Amino acid sequence: MSSYTLGELADRVQARLHGDPACVISRVATLRNAAPGAISFLANPSYRRYLAGTAASAVILAPEVLEDCPVAALVSENPYLTYARVAALFRPPPQPAPGIHASARLAADVRLGEDVSIGPNCVLESGVSIASHCVIGPGCIIGAGAQIGPDSHLAAGVTICHGVVIGSRALIHPGAVIGNDGFGLAKNGEAWERIPQLGGLRIGNDVEIGANSTIDRGALEDTVIDDGVKLDSQVHVGHNVHIGAHTVLAGCVGISGSARIGRHCLIGGGAGVVGHLAIADDVVVTGMSMVTRSIRHAGVYSSGIPAQPGKDWNRHLARLRRLESLIKRIEALENDRKG
């Protein structure tokens, strides 16, 4: 692992240095568990109590906390972002050597840019286009006519279905399935018939897709994932969904078909969005919420019931079961007064 002086780190991440620029930093650690040679960070105020006793050689923090810091510091208006950039220096992404592994199978008309790496057991079908400096990890399957933009990285076992278009600098984690058929069915008596999914899937630049996530292609028009969208692991995006730029979906979120999600939204883990509705820009949906109607205005929206002690929940549930009879009694009393 590389080491940097504190002065080098300050220059790399554009932070203000407070302390000895020659101090050598070799790793990143938490405030509680850091040792000399480590740099830590303080972004969440609830961890401020650990600052005074930290053994880190330096801490990334905001200007208003600097006077309480007992060690050197990198001062930033956004300490968490600065920490992310510092951590990236100590753990750069792997860069396999360019070339095509002997076990990979490429159609004769596949187009490859400069310095592309194709890993073992990959399959690239007819008409695939891979731009320069891409990494295609082991066991990936890329369907006919798919296009992947420059500097993109597919981890092991990713499936890109036919005709999918992916922009620059995509990061797709293991097991993701991109552009599979959506869940389209027509009722035929007591049976179901499959509806062909004739649309495509367009993914913008700087998109990250988590492990084992799935994004369906469109039924008629394209599914669209705009620039900068980040999907956590095990997210499902249905057909014809449009997700606006720089929106983030946490793990196990499910977006039903034809929903439109705005820009700069945050959707918490396990939340669900019903199909054919719209969510405005700058909306936060908290974890385990169920969105059943369109959200027209920015803000924070919740519908989940937080966990509570079992005895309390049982008591509240018993009261909920009595609610209907209580409403009827109140209605009867109001009718008596009117009479």
Q: Which residues are identified as catalytic?
A: 239
Contact 142, 125 (CB under 8 A): yes
**Token pair of 321, please?**
């079961």
Computed from CA positions of residues 118, 123, 126, 127, in that sequence, does the dihedral angle turn out positive or negative?
A: negative
Helices and strands per DSSP (H, E), number in the chain: 3, 39
Task: Report the 10 Å Cβ neighbour count for 102.
Answer: 6
Alpha-carbon span 114 to 129, nearest angstrom? 12
Residue whose pair of structure tokens reads 């906390």 in the numeric block:
65
Contact 66, 73 (CB under 8 A): yes
Burial 187-216 (b: 16+ CB within 10 A, else e): eeeeeeeeeebebbbbbbbbbbbbbbbbbb
Contact 275, 291 (CB under 8 A): no
- Cα separation values, 30 from 41, 53, 82, Å: 7, 12, 14
> Nearest Cα to 39, choosing from 96, 85, 102?
85
- Write the DSSP string, 147-166: EE-TT-EE-TT-EE-TT-EE
Which residues on neighbouring strands pair with residue 41, listed in sequence order? 60
> Nearest Cα to 3, choosing from 50, 30, 38?
38
Computed from CA positions of residues 86, 136, 177, 161, in that sequence, does the dihedral angle turn out positive or negative?
A: positive
